[in-house]
Amino acid sequence: MRYGAPMPYLRKDRYFQKAKKEGWASRAAYKLIQINQKWSLLKKGMFVIDLGTSPGSWMQVIADTIGPQGRVIGIDLQPLNISLPPNALFLQGDLRDPKFLDQIEKIWPQKADLIVSDMAPKLTGVKFGDQFLSYELALLALKTCLRLLKIHGNFVVKVFPGQESEGLYKQMKVAFSKVATFSPEASRKTSSEVYWIGLGYKE
Ligand SMILES: C[S@@+](CC[C@H](N)C(=O)[O-])C[C@H]1O[C@@H](n2cnc3c(N)ncnc32)[C@H](O)[C@@H]1O
């Protein structure tokens, strides 16, 4: 690397190597593993919705933890290039298109115990623009809860905190009994992402 050149992502960092060795689709697996270690959100037999699935490591962690009696359904703009166990189903598409919520409801008419969103936009490098796009995706994930999350269910959403996200935080405080902020150790040190954990859905 040239002296003074911007630091590239350390693609082969500890979590990258660990994910490769342990068979996860990406290093992002450890973010959900660490969220779950702290908050114990995943239980056997649950129905989970995974928003922003690709390349698929969260879905792998979820499918493994909920076991064969559980169900996980995921959606992403991008295709998924991993093989899925029988308890997992993937839809390719844009969550902004309401037909996908209809489709999820048709496939599994019961409400979800847990909705997780690791959705992120294609980053442009323009800080405020990127924060706004991320905010819109987090809001979309919260709207998905209004329709598909069961009462007392839980929610995890990736956020890049900015001006707009304050309003979103307030909406989460209304919708959930408790809202916590968590920064997994596995998040890249260069990333400003945090996860908001909504516990005990109320409405
Ligand atoms: C950080 S990646 C998710 C990584 C994933 N949790 C994993 O463990 O492999 C973010 C994903 O959000 C997806 N995404 C962004 N906007 C979306 C939208 N409107 N509808 C569905 N997926 C979207 C992107 O295509 C991208 O694959």
pLDDT at 6: 44
Q: How far is the CA of 146 from the centre of ligand 1 (A)?
A: 20
Q: Is 117 in the pocket of ligand 1 (CB under 6 A)?
A: no
pLDDT at 50: 98
> Structure pTM?
0.93
Question: pLDDT tens digits, residue range 99-132?
Answer: 999 999 999 889 999 999 999 998 777 777 778 8
Burial degree of 32 (CB within 10 A; 0-12, 13-18, 19+): buried
- For residues 144 and 200, what is the distance between their CA atoms, to the nearest angstrom? 15
Tell me the average pLDDT of the chain. 91
pLDDT at 188: 84
Q: Is 120 in the pocket of ligand 1 (CB under 6 A)?
A: yes
pLDDT at 11: 54
CB 32 within 8 A of CB 64: no
- For residues 28 and 63, what is the distance between their CA atoms, to the nearest angstrom? 15
Structural domains in the chain? 14-201 (3.40.50.150)
Residue 184 scores a pLDDT above 70 = yes
Catalytic residues: 158
Question: Which atom of ligand 1 is the closest one to the Cα of 96?
Answer: 19
Assign 88 a pLDDT band (cuts: 50, 70, 90).
very high
Q: How far is the CA of 2 from the centre of ligand 1 (A)?
A: 32
Q: How far is the CA of 163 from the centre of ligand 1 (A)?
A: 22
pLDDT at 1: 34
